[in-house]
A and B are shown apart, each in its own frame.
Chain A
Amino acid sequence: METNLVLEGFKFMGLGMGTVFLFLIVMIFSMNIMSWAIHKFFPEPQANAAPTASAAPQEDNKKIIAAITAAIKYHREG
């Protein structure tokens, strides 16, 4: 009975570490499959959306820069 306790401890260790690693390895595989599938079937629209979205603000930026330079000029002269 006495010796069994340590043996039980080692059994717990084997089963416990085994389960933890099994779970994480399955999780890693599923993660890889999931990200592969998502990149293949649901690619993020970022690449397409970027040019159209950034065109308008760029023009706006030019206007703002022009306004700021004008303001600075006015400030320095006045």
Chain B
Amino acid sequence: MKNILLKLLALFMVLSFTTASANEAHVTEGTAKSSTHKEETYKTKPFMEMIGGFLESTGVSALINPSPDELSATGEKMSDFHKSGGRIIMILVTFFLFWLAIKKGFEPLLLLPIAFGGLLANIPIAGIAGPHGFLGVIYQMGLSNELFPIIIFMGVGAMTDFGPLLSNPKTALLGGAAQFGIFGTLVGAVILSQMGFVDFTLQQASAISIIGGADGPTSIFIATKLSPELLGAIAVASYSYMAMVPIIQPPIMKALTTEKERKMKMSTLRHVSRLEKLIFPIMVLTLAILVLPESTPLIGAFMFGNFLKESGVVERLNDTLQNALINITTIFLGLGVGSKLAADQFLVPETMFIMVLGIIAFSVGTAAGVLMAKFMNLFPGHKINPLIGSAGVSAVPMAARVSNKVGMEYDRTNMLLMHAMGPNVAGVIGSAVAAGVLISLFS
């Protein structure tokens, strides 16, 4: 009896267990069904099809057979060339820029970030330069609103010494004459589009001509304001020609001067008191406020950096402006400009004209500075060695070094460096003023 009871109990247990498990199985089946209803996007595929789908998403396939609905960083349609061959060409161009920066030492601090940004911007599918890619975000963060060039200007201000200019004020005129490079090129650009070679608007022509100011941050500032679509080409032209100043300038300087003029010695610079250096930035800013408020973003930032330096009481801030801040901003500025080296924006006929106009702008600026110095020597007063006229193009301190080097080729004892720094820093002020004029004309 006891035995039968036990057997019955066991049977019951087994039965209940099986039904329970069957129920459970039923429930899991149900949830499995509902989950397939929810996640319809993922479908099981045969393995070969998966491989095929993956291969379609590779860079090789995207470069050879670009997808027709891929959009450019600005959200426009691109031609097939700009999606395939153009990208490969641009990647090779960035390799060439690497070579210029590393092997030839062409402004590596900016050219390397620009070139690497260009490399990243030309990667298919990833859309790094697009509105949600990190280059696009950097561009939005500080370039489209012209913030980074301004911060760079603060750092440049903190590095600038106005002493040589203060001790020989009239050399500032050389820095003004060199701005002829800007406006001469502006006329050149509109004549080119008049003749039908290329179609530049007045805004674009102005943005290109600012390359003649030989001032990287100013060029970027104006280009983003007046014609952001040309920013990549303008920045690359500006920085690579600035690096080529020692090659471009000497032949022009020698062609326009006689040997006697090149050997001319200049009287030693007088001592400049600290108070003069302290008041100078405020004075220039006041003039800018009165004459041309449009130029005050650039001049204000420049003089802010210089004022911190000359005040002598904020050594920490001065140090940050000259080193940490300008370095960080240079990285972001370079990458942001590089994002504009995408094939669809760079591989256009305009780029070639920008390169040609850029070198003309540099040459005209150099020549105008030298001729201005010769013109000033016609008047009584201290004579000026025409070689320092070429330093009127901003490119601090490269242009001043070139003046010094050419001078020493003819007379080893003729030290022109400090004399050339005067027109050099005046050139920075001059191109900021010229930039202000261009902005005010279009506002």
Residues of A that sit less than 8 Å from B by CB:
2-3, 5-6, 8-10, 12-13, 15-17, 19-28, 30-32, 34-35, 38-39, 42, 44
Known A-B contacts A12-B183, A19-B292; A35 and B276 likewise in contact (beta carbons under 8 Å): yes
Interface of chain A, main secondary structure: helix
Which of B176, B191, B273, B426 has the largest count of A CB atoms less than 10 A from its CB?
Answer: B176
Which of B166, B186, B275 has the largest count of A CB atoms less than 10 A from its CB?
Answer: B275
- What residue of chain A has the Cβ atom nearest to residue B171's Cβ? A28
Partner of A20 from B179, B186, B275 at Cβ < 8 Å: B179
Contact flags B171-209 to A (C-beta < 8 A → 1, else 0): 011011001101110110111011000000010011000
A20 touches B437 (CB 8 A): yes
Residues of B that sit less than 8 Å from A by CB:
165-166, 169-170, 172-173, 175-176, 179-180, 182-184, 186-187, 189-191, 193-194, 202, 205-206, 272-276, 279-280, 283-284, 287-288, 291-292, 426, 429-430, 433-434, 436-438, 441
CB-CB < 8 A to A28: which residues of B? 169-170, 172-173
20 residue pairs A–B, Cβ–Cβ below 8 Å: A3-B194, A6-B190, A6-B194, A8-B190, A9-B190, A12-B438, A13-B184, A13-B187, A19-B436, A20-B176, A20-B433, A20-B437, A21-B173, A25-B173, A31-B169, A32-B169, A35-B272, A38-B275, A42-B275, A44-B275
Partner of A9 from B172, B187, B429 at Cβ < 8 Å: B187
Query: When chains A and B are docked, how far (Å) is the Cα of A24 from the Cα of B184?
Result: 19
CB-CB < 8 A to B165: which residues of A? 31
Query: When chains A and B are docked, how far (Å) is the Cα of A1 from the Cα of B287?
Result: 37
Interface of chain B, main secondary structure: helix
CB-CB < 8 A to A34: which residues of B? 276, 279-280, 283
B437 touches A35 (CB 8 A): no
Partner of A15 from B273, B279, B283, B441 at Cβ < 8 Å: B441
Chain A proximity of B90: nearest CB distance (Å): 31
CB-CB < 8 A to A5: which residues of B? 190, 193-194, 202
B183 touches A13 (CB 8 A): yes
CB-CB < 8 A to A26: which residues of B? 287, 291
Query: When chains A and B are docked, how far (Å) is the Cα of A11 from the Cα of B144?
Result: 29
B430 touches A24 (CB 8 A): yes
CB-CB < 8 A to B180: which residues of A? 17
- What residue of chain A has the Cβ atom nearest to residue B283's Cβ? A30
A15 touches B437 (CB 8 A): yes
Chain B proximity of A41: nearest CB distance (Å): 10
